Amino acid sequence: MTKQTYWYKEGVFYQIWPRSFKDGNGDGMGDLFGVIEKLDYIKSLNVDGIWFSPLYPSPGADCGYDISDYMDIAAEFGGMEAFQRMLEEAHARGLKVIMDLVVNHTSDEHEWFQKSRERIDPYTDYYVWRPAKKNGKLPNNWDSMFEGKAWQWDDVRKEYYLHLFAIKQPDLNMDNPLVREEVKKILKFWLDLGVDGFREDVITFISKEEGLPDAFPLPGYTGISKYNHGPHIHEYLQEFRRDVLSHYDCMTLAEAPLVSPRLALTYIGPDADKGCGADIDMMIQFQCMCADCFYSDYMPLPFSLRKLKKAFSSWQAGLRGKAWNMLYLGNHDHPRVISRYGSEEYRVESGKMLAAAYLFQQGTPFIYQGQELGMTNWYPARIDMYEDVQTLNQHLKDPEKKRLKLYHRASRDSARTPVQWTDGPNAGFTEGTPWFYVNENYKEINAAAQETDPDSLLNFYRKAVALRKSLPVVRDGSYREFKKWSGRLYAYERVLGEERLLVICSFSKKETAFRLPKACRGKAGTLLLKNYDGTGDIAADGKDLLKLKPYEMRVYRFGG
């Protein structure tokens, strides 16, 4: 076993979705050459690491989450050579690199699947195959997340295979020990190459209930209770930990749909450590992505600040002293956070406020590419402009106009338009023809314009991240929320010894009043971060009642 240093607890991560980050060779597709060009930019955000969405060879049915070779880097991203150069250069700047591990499923073009459908050993049982039922029905009633029912007939093997996502993403049979050996080989391969850990894609889906029984119908999600957090999940994750991960000082981050803090502790809490480390180090929960929808972005509801605060606070309280939070406001699977929880009208103000709302919580924050620039949702004129397999299969029976309206609000393609670097052609993303549409607002929203503006959102992120890292209270302090019932304000304090940090965030367009909590009244407070001019420190004999402007945020320090 290697000694674990838990370095990720000190850090802040930046997520790159490679296709749209930066094109370095002019072919219109983001790549590792572009990433290398931008490593100094990434470092300038004061972050400590990068999570790469998949870089492996893939037919692209799910933009890289359908992998056809786990031990290589796609030629379109620059291949292995560019990856190794990027890794070296990132490490030279003190940036950790974590990869996406996608082993619930492969691409149907992966060699394992090609051999499995022909029953060539040892691949015959690498996937979840079932014959048709006698009455000609599907093996069970499960839905796939992306394309209809979860079963696809294969004419070569003359059986159905399970796909919990797109048809081109057959599920691996993790109950087969040979498949688990393959996973371990993949982990070892990348760790030996020098990567620092993995974000594990829908890893809680890998153990399916024995017999694959029918499930209670839930529109679009039938079956999820039979494969999420399944019977052998802890056993398999422990096996990966014991045989590979515990031999490296690495970090794992598990994507975990439908997980509560209590359930998360069975993976990341002290009891999850069976002698060589917990199953996983951190979990990506979804509650913080459900403040304006019912479980999925495609089941929209009005934004509820109370729901968001409950998500934040229940995780802060639930893991306190027992496990470590992963903090985020968006990624490649959700629309842009300013368009959801903030305001496009008060884009910069609300972007800063949202940053403060999560950056001062306990845990390891992740910033998704373009979030630091305040990129917003994309509103294309036609459905056929969308690219994403998930989006294009939603609400197919609805009239086109209604679908378009829903996609404008919910599609993850809004997070996948190219990063807006300049106000020049293609927003400076590429010198060629971009693989995807650039959001038309790039003339106004771009990195170059924000570099030179001290009050820009970009410079705010730099400052906020640096501030977070300079204050031990953010890493270790207790957490307490005020005004829980408020539909306009999110206010919390972090306390460590004499030091008290008070974070006040208005989620409202209206002026909103906030009375300082008792412990701060009559005390002097230093204003560490703000998003409006004209506000300053609180004098010891100052007023208790603060009046907050639209989407105003303030971070004060008392004592310390």
Question: Measured between alpha carbons, how far is 506 from 417 in angstroms, rounded to an integer?
Answer: 29
- The answer to whether 201 contacts ligand NOJ (rule: CB under 6 A) is yes
Q: Distance (Å, rounded) from C-alpha 446 to C-alpha 504? A: 28
Burial degree of 369 (CB within 10 A; 0-12, 13-18, 19+): buried
Catalytic residue among 31, 171, 196, 201: 201
Number of residues that bind ligand NOJ (CB under 6 A): 9
Nearer to ligand NOJ, 123 or 165 (CB): 165
**Angstrom distance (rounded) from CA 470 to CA 475:** 9
- Pick from 29, 202, 254, 491: which binds ligand NOJ (CB under 6 A)? 202
Element at 491 (helix H, strand E)? strand 489-496
CB of 203 to ligand NOJ, least distance (A): 10
Q: Where are the alpha helices (DSSP H) in 386-442?
A: 389-392, 400-410
Query: Binder to ligand NOJ among 165, 248, 366, 435 (CB under 6 A)?
Result: 165
Q: Closest CB to ligand NOJ among 165 and 429?
A: 165
Cβ 412 to ligand NOJ, closest distance in Å? Answer: 7
For residues 242-261, which are near ligand NOJ according to CB under 6 A?
A: 255
Contact flag: residue 200 with ligand NOJ (CB under 6 A): no
Least spacing, CB of residue 146 vs ligand NOJ, in Å:
7
C-alpha to C-alpha distance for 171 and 108, rounded to whole angstroms: 9
Q: How far is the CB of 199 from ligand NOJ (least distance, A)?
A: 9
Rg for the chain (alpha carbons), in Å?
Answer: 24
In this complex, which beta carbon is closest to ligand NOJ, that of residue 102 or of residue 467? 102
Place of tokens 């007939």: 153
Quote the least distance from Cβ 53 to ligand NOJ, whole Å. 7
> For residues 162 and 529, which CB has a smaller minimum distance to ligand NOJ in the complex?
162
255 has catalytic annotation: yes
Instruction: Give the residue carrying structure tokens 């439908």.
Output: 258
Q: Helices in 6-48 by DSSP H: which ranges?
A: 32-37, 39-44
Binders of ligand NOJ among residues 320 to 339 (CB under 6 A) are: 332-333
Asked whether the CA dihedral 165, 330, 377, 490 is positive or negative, the reply is positive
What does the longest C-alpha to C-alpha distance in the chain come to?
Answer: 81
Residue 15: CB minimum distance to ligand NOJ, A:
10
Counting contacts by CB under 6 A, is residue 62 touching ligand NOJ? yes
Give the tokens for residue 90: 């990132």
From the list 255, 333, 349, 493, the catalytic residue is 255
d(CA 456, CA 31): 27
Site mask for ligand NOJ (CB under 6 A), range 98-117, x = bound: ----x---------------
Q: Residue number with the shortest CB distance to ligand NOJ?
A: 65
CB of 147 or CB of 349, closer to ligand NOJ: 147
Closest by CA position to 411, among listed 437, 442, 434, 430: 437
Which of 65, 240, 407, 442 forms a contact with ligand NOJ (CB under 6 A)? 65
Closer to ligand NOJ at the Cβ: 268 or 415?
415
Instruction: Give the nearest distance from C-beta 520 to ligand NOJ in angstroms.
Output: 40
Annotated catalytic residue 201: yes
CA distance linking residue 19 with residue 52, whole number of Å:
11
Residue with token string 């979030």 = 371
Instruction: From residue 323, give the alpha-carbon distance in Å to each of 203, 261, 276, 492.
Output: 18, 10, 16, 20
Active site residues: 201, 255
- State the residues that interact with ligand NOJ by CB under 6 A: 62, 65, 102, 165, 201-202, 255, 332-333
